[in-house]
Amino acid sequence: MNNSFARLIDGMNATLRSEVLTRLDDEFARGQVFGIINLLNTFKVRADWSSGFLLEQIVAQRSALEGAAALLQGRNDAPIGPIGDPPQAVPIADLLARRDEGNRAIGKVLAWVDANRATLVPPTAEQLDMLLRTAMRAEVGIELKNAPRPLFAEMSSGAEEPSP
């Protein structure tokens, strides 16, 4: 039977904590082990097997761009192209490319809105700003939610801090 990537990382971290840290007396060496644990925790949420946060970001972008397309319907000069189907299970490289494409599309729409603000009905410009900024905030929020708690205190002191 295969273990999940997260379970493998958790096992490595548990081994480092129980077998390596307990045998180290040097504060610097203990800090280095906590640095490795922190790095492994980052890998756990960002590795190829962890596509969930990319899918969340793409869904947030898609929602913003669909809303912008609806608000700008009939404007031939609007920079919104076809949005595409919702993502399915695809290779991580494709998800990264799709997320980056969504970021470029949002950037183009923001630049277009800024350049054409005078020709837009005020509520439309405000709604577009809100939609696109909501997607950008969602992306940052998803990144933060999927980032492990840094172990800076442990790395600098070589001692385990109590869990919150």
User: Alpha-carbon distance 134 to 137, whole Å?
Assistant: 5
Tell me, what's the pLDDT at 130?
93
- What does the angle CA 34 – CA 35 – CA 40 come to, to the nearest 5 degrees? 95
Calculate mean pLDDT across residues 40-53: 75
Express each pLDDT in 7-32 by its tens digit. Answer: 788 899 999 999 998 999 988 998 89
Q: Extract the tokens encoding 2.
A: 């295969």
Instruction: Please state, rounded to an integer, the average pLDDT across all residues of the chain.
Output: 83
Tell me, what's the pLDDT at 162?
67
- Provide the 8-state DSSP code for 158: S
Express each pLDDT in 63-111 by its tens digit. Answer: 898 899 889 888 888 887 777 776 666 777 788 788 889 999 999 999 9
Least confident range of 1-5, 12-16, 51-55 = 1-5
Longest dimension (CA), the chain: 70
Q: Extract the tokens encoding 142.
A: 């998803």
Calculate mean pLDDT across residues 117-145: 90
Tell me, what's the pLDDT at 107?
93
Buried b (16+ CB within 10 A) or exposed e, 107-119: eebbebbeebeee
Q: Kindly give the residue spans of alpha helices, DSSP state H, lying in 47-121.
A: 52-71, 92-116
Asked if residue 1 has pLDDT above 60, the reply is no
Confirm if 64 and 132 have CB atoms less than 8 A apart: yes
User: Alpha-carbon distance 80 to 105, whole Å?
Assistant: 7
User: Alpha-carbon distance 3 to 93, whole Å?
Assistant: 23
Instruction: Name which residue leads in pLDDT, 42 or 84.
Output: 42
